[in-house]
């Protein structure tokens, strides 16, 4: 599937779909990585970005369009109300591959099961007793504590390539991660098996 999106990144003519293909060509980390890039850029917490932030964010993450006109076309396509800013969650939804309700429900079930305190975000405390740290090599050797192992695992859902995040995983970050995973899995049956096995749903 990654090869398919690499090809689409070159042949696609729609600017938004071209950005989507470039994201998905990175595999499961693609969508969550750009999500994190834009969240970091959102200094004032407004959850909106203007055209310059949009273009800079794309380039900073390594997504490139062929011309200024294409960047404007992509931005305008997402900026439905022509306000001059876009909600970056809308931007992520535009980039995420289509996902059916069956898969979305599975992802939500997994998140809700992990979110023990119902806070709306996952911390290492939520994973305590769910993820087995005693199987981790560095925990067994004494190099890492239980908290460090669980935080390292959580970081896989945050930044690209498991970069260190803020120690909390929101629903959007969790969904972004599995959007990328879903894009590489053809059948609902296999996606179901993966989620049920991973999270004992």
Q: Which residue has the tokens 């498991």?
A: 162
Residues 152, 129: Cα–Cα separation, whole Å: 15
Do 106 and 195 belong together in one domain? yes
φ and ψ of 45, to 5 deg: 70, 15
Do 54 and 90 belong together in one domain? yes
| Residue 115 confidence (pLDDT) | 93
Do 12 and 91 belong together in one domain? yes
Do 105 and 188 belong together in one domain? yes
Do 109 and 189 belong together in one domain? yes
Instruction: Name the residue range of residue 105's domain.
Output: 101-199
User: Which residue numbers in the chain have pLDDT < 50?
Assistant: 160-164
> How many domains does the chain divide into?
2
Do 34 and 17 belong together in one domain? yes
**If 0-12 CB within 10 Å is exposed, 13-18 middle and 19+ buried, where does residue 69 land?**
exposed
Question: Among 95, 125, 153, where does a domain finish?
Answer: 95
Question: Among 48, 80, 95, where does a domain finish?
Answer: 95
Question: Among 43, 69, 95, where does a domain finish?
Answer: 95
Do 90 and 109 belong together in one domain? no
Do 43 and 24 belong together in one domain? yes
Do 81 and 111 belong together in one domain? no
1-23 tens-digit pLDDT: 677 888 888 888 999 999 888 88
Do 61 and 133 belong together in one domain? no
Domain containing 143 — which CATH number?
Answer: 1.10.238.10
Do 76 and 147 belong together in one domain? no
């Amino acid at each position: 599937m990654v090869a398919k999106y690499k090809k689409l990144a070159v042949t696609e003519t729609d600017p938004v779909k071209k950005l989507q293909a470039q994201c998905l060509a990175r595999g499961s980390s693609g969508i969550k990585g750009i999500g994190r890039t834009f969240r970091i850029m959102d200094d004032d917490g407004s959850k909106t970005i203007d055209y310059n932030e949009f273009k800079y964010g794309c380039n900073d993450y390594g997504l490139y369009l062929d011309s200024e006109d294409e960047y404007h076309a992509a931005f305008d396509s997402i900026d439905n109300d022509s306000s001059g800013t876009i909600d970056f969650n809308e931007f992520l939804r535009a980039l995420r591959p289509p996902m059916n309700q069956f898969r979305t429900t599975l992802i939500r079930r997994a998140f809700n099961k992990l979110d023990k305190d119902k806070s709306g975000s996952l911390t290492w405390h939520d994973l305590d007793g769910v993820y087995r740290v005693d199987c981790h090599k560095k925990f067994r050797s004494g190099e890492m504590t239980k908290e460090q192992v669980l935080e390292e695992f959580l970081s896989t859902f945050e930044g690209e390539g498991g970069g260190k995040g803020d120690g909390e995983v929101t629903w959007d970050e969790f969904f972004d991660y599995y959007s990328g995973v879903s894009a590489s899995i053809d059948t609902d049956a296999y996606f179901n098996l993966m989620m049920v096995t991973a999270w004992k749903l």
